[in-house]
Amino acid sequence: MNWLGNIGRKSTGWLFFSADLFGLLNLTFREMRHVLNPSRRRIFWFLFKRQLYNSGLKATYINTVVAIMLAWLVMSKAYLLLSEGAGAVQYYAQFFIIVVIREIGPIVSGVILIARSANAITAEIGHLKLNNEFDVLSSMRISPVFIFLVPVFLSFPLSLLLMFFYFNIVCISFSYLFISGLYGLDINFADFIREIVMGISSNEIVISIAKACLGGGLIGLISIQFGIKVGDKFTDISRAISNSISTQFLVFISFNVALSILAYR
């Protein structure tokens, strides 16, 4: 009967965790009203831009490296397999949209956001919680939710959407360079780009935006949730980071797979 008890405890844990996330989401929407205040809006705008720069723009290099490696190791080889017979560019465009734009691009970008930025948020919140900094802010009538949660909740989706965009741009560009330069295949660049762009439907755009907005928001909420749970031990921070990353990977990848199955079945 031990396994039944374990299932019950796990289910109860996930239920309380989901309730905590919903509570954080509710607090976030409530605190957004302060953005309408001019003085607080200046503070928010500064924190939002800082978070967007750290989570989205500074991740460009690692996103670019991964996109180049994918373009070289996978996508350029895929063109060679599809290049036999007529319609190679059209087949490749469909393959690129299905593999990169639908699946690999969003997942890789989300993994980079989690590994590079979300764990830093968990560590930062954990240190503040450990040192009772939230109590200090509350005593000064400054909302910790408005200062820390709202900028993350709004900047992570935009960061993830930007990462989707330049991951796809880099992968498309270097795929063409490897195909035409490394393998010496005669392909017109304009035709190459046009086939891929024309193959991107409005459904692809909507699903990509949904993956970025909802997935980025979930990553931000989970990273802060585990930071808030830090207790009075220094080791709680490393435990929070580890649990946060594992949960974000599980939730984000499951969310992407489920959304793809529902949208493209």
User: What DSSP assignment string belongs to 10-50?
Assistant: HHHHHHHHHHHHHHHHHHHHHHGGGGGSHHHHHHHHHHHHH
Q: How far apart are CA 136 and CA 138, in angstroms?
A: 5
CA angle 195, 159, 61 (to 5 degrees): 75
Place of tokens 């490393």: 238
126: which 2 tokens?
């954990």
Place of tokens 């590079």: 116
pLDDT the model gives residue 167: 92
CB 71 within 8 A of CB 170: yes
Residue 249 confidence class, pLDDT cut points 50, 70, 90: very high
How do the domains of the chain map onto residue ranges? Answer: 2-264
Of 253, 251, 185, 206, the residue nearest 21 (C-alpha): 251
Q: How far apart are CA 52 and CA 56, in angstroms?
A: 5
pLDDT the model gives residue 1: 55
- Which tens digit of pLDDT belongs to each residue from 128-187? 888 887 777 777 777 778 888 888 888 999 999 999 998 999 988 888 888 887 777 777
pTM of the model: 0.85
Residue 202 confidence class, pLDDT cut points 50, 70, 90: confident
Residue type at 110 in one-letter notation: G
Of 184, 207, 187, the residue nearest 261 (C-alpha): 207
DSSP state of 177: H
Q: How far apart are CA 167 and CA 65, in angstroms?
A: 9
